[in-house]
């Protein structure tokens, strides 16, 4: 059990561990998940660049809309059962088989319902996109079931299984897609490669789950399916709202402009999407830790929350201005001059990184506390805000207006989540962020000067060195606090 000693007024208080004499495992959940996301995102970005440069904004817009369409159906099929399963297994390993059996049946029923509706919508799409959308629906269906098996890995806090299998899936998908695209099979060839990789991955994760962890037990299905659905439904609504919010720009642009505009927006949002898994991954690793700590002491859990929240704010303060500075030349270098509008989109979306990073900590802390309804409510408010701004600005500013809607929604979400997560508790100490803001401002000035007078990409490594050095120098953080974070995210002994 990890016990976080109170710090703040007493910053030197140690973070201790009670292991009953057993040694804490040396690897960390977050490390494995970050490796997974790093590899998969690099592969996905490389593939996206090849596709975008090869088929231009219009073809890239068709491709990304198909992804958004399939992701929406997949989220309705999940309906929170995956995250519920992780949390439930983390609380009670003994009931893992029964919980797994119930969620597996629920996932199958929900998938049939949601994908049936999606299939009914296909005839209303442009004829050239119908087959492409159908293939991506099959891909997301296979990935949906694979994710449920991975939820078991997360519940047992064995993220190395996720790392190995997702690495293989991305390798197969990327290699196959690149080969078929370069051979001239186009978007349909790409979707076919994704489908083959997804099916192989589903088979592998299922076999590993059955061999090393649990097999589904359906003996109590009649009495367990409803409690599972009832408990998971707030998480499901949260996921649906989040997905709809993320995909709102694609639907708004599809209705108001054309596929080329979707391609411009997609090129701008891709680097942001590549960064988002970093906070999402670390915060996901903290979910079972929050759950354990809340069983023993609210004070310890809140202390852990304040620590991780501030660390994530520090990361956002570095990421946002850095992306703003390098966005235009980066997009032109990667995608080519035909995607010049995407540079402005990326600059606008970078502002939202200030909110995306700390928001992930708040979400997982609220989920660990069982405040799923609160999470759903906040995301609903933010989704309505984003949709309203998008609809108002898209006719005036085009893709820039949609980007403004997304970025402003992220900032609003951060404020609301922080207030909700801190309800009944003390808010984090904002004055401790002042040195970090000064360090971020100095880093931004240095990176901007370098970008303007020398080779622009030098601003990235120099900023990456200057910011942490200034943080330590200005006491914006300390090595001790980083050690506390390290210990918190370790997997406890079995």
**pLDDT digits over 108-144, tens only?**
898 899 988 988 888 888 888 888 999 999 999 999 9
What does the alpha-carbon distance between residue 69 and residue 84 come to, in Å, rounded to a whole number? 24
Supply 311's token pair.
């660390």
Q: What average pLDDT is seen over the chain?
A: 78
Q: For residue 5, what pLDDT is reported? A: 29
**pLDDT digits over 19-70, tens only?**
333 233 334 555 665 666 666 667 777 777 777 877 778 888 888 888 888 8
pLDDT of 389 higher than 90:
yes
**pLDDT digits over 226-245, tens only?**
787 887 777 777 777 777 77
3-state secondary structure of 230: helix
The highest-confidence range among 49-58, 177-186, 351-360, 470-479, by mean pLDDT, is 351-360
Q: Distances from the Cα of 10 to the Cαs of 198, 228, 303, 310, 435, in angstroms?
A: 50, 42, 12, 16, 18
Q: Region 424-429: what's the mean pLDDT?
A: 76
Which residue, chain included where needed, has tokens 């207006």? 401
Q: For residue 39, what pLDDT is reported? A: 67
Q: For residue 21, what pLDDT is reported? A: 32
With both helix axes pointing from N to C terminus, report the angle between 353-368 and 372-397 in degrees, rounded to the nearest 10.
160
pLDDT of 450 higher than 80:
no
Phi (first) and psi of residue 490, to 5 degrees: -75, 150
Q: For residue 33, what pLDDT is reported? A: 59
Domain locations along the chain:
2-11+24-488
What pTM does this model have? Answer: 0.69
Q: For residue 461, what pLDDT is reported? A: 76
Q: For residue 479, what pLDDT is reported? A: 62
pLDDT of 372 higher than 80:
no
pLDDT of 251 higher than 50:
yes
CB burial readout 350-389, b (16+ within 10 A) else e: bbbbbbbbbbbbbbbbbbbbebbebbbbbbbebbebbbeb
With both helix axes pointing from N to C terminus, report the angle between 159-182 and 186-212 in degrees, rounded to the nearest 10.
160
Split at pLDDT 50, 70, 90, the class of 163 is confident
Polymer length in residues for the chain: 494
């Amino acid at each position: 059990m990890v016990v976080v000693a109170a710090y703040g007024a007493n910053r030197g208080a140690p973070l201790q561990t009670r292991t009953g004499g057993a040694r804490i495992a040396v690897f960390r959940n977050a490390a494995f998940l970050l490796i997974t996301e790093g590899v998969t995102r690099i592969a996905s970005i490389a593939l996206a660049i090849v596709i975008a440069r090869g088929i231009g904004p219009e073809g890239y817009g068709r491709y990304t809309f198909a992804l958004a369409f399939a992701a929406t159906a997949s989220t309705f099929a999940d309906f929170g059962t995956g995250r519920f399963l992780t949390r439930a297994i983390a609380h009670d390993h003994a009931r893992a088989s029964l919980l797994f059996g119930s969620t597996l049946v629920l996932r199958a029923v929900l998938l049939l319902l949601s994908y049936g509706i999606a299939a009914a919508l296909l005839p209303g799409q442009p004829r050239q996109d119908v087959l492409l959308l159908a293939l991506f629906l099959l891909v997301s269906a296979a990935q949906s079931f694979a994710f449920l098996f991975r939820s078991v890995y997360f519940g047992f806090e064995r993220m190395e299984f996720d790392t190995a299998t997702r690495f293989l899936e991305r390798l197969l998908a990327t290699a196959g897609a690149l080969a078929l695209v370069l051979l001239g099979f186009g978007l349909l060839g790409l979707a076919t490669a994704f489908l083959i990789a997804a099916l192989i991955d589903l088979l592998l994760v299922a076999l590993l789950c059955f061999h090393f962890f649990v097999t589904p037990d359906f003996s109590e299905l009649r009495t367990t399916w409803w409690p599972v659905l009832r408990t998971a439904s707030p998480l499901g609504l949260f996921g649906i709202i989040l997905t709809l919010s993320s995909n709102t720009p694609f639907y708004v642009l599809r209705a108001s402009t054309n596929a080329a505009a979707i391609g411009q927006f997609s090129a701008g949002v891709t680097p942001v999407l590549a960064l988002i898994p970093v906070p999402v991954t670390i915060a996901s690793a903290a979910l079972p830790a929050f759950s354990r700590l809340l069983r023993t002491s609210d004070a310890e859990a809140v202390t852990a929350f304040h620590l991780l929240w501030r660390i994530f704010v520090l990361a956002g303060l570095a990421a946002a201005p850095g992306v703003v500075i390098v966005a235009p030349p980066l997009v032109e270098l990667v995608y080519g001059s035909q995607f010049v509008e995407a540079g402005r989109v990326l600059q606008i979306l970078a502002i939202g990184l200030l909110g995306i990073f700390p928001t992930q900590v708040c979400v997982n802390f609220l989920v660990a506390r069982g405040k799923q309804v609160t999470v759903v409510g906040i995301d609903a408010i933010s989704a309505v805000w984003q949709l309203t701004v998008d609809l108002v600005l898209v006719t005036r500013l085009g893709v820039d207006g949609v980007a403004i809607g997304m970025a402003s929604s992220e900032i609003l979400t951060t404020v609301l989540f922080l207030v909700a997560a801190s309800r009944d508790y003390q808010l984090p100490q904002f004055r401790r962020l002042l040195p970090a803001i000064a360090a971020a401002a100095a880093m931004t000035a240095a990176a901007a000067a370098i970008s303007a007078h020398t080779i622009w990409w030098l601003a990235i490594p120099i900023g990456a060195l200057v910011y942490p050095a200034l943080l330590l120098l200005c006491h914006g953080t300390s090595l001790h606090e980083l050690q506390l974070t390290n210990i918190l995210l370790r997997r406890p002994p079995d």
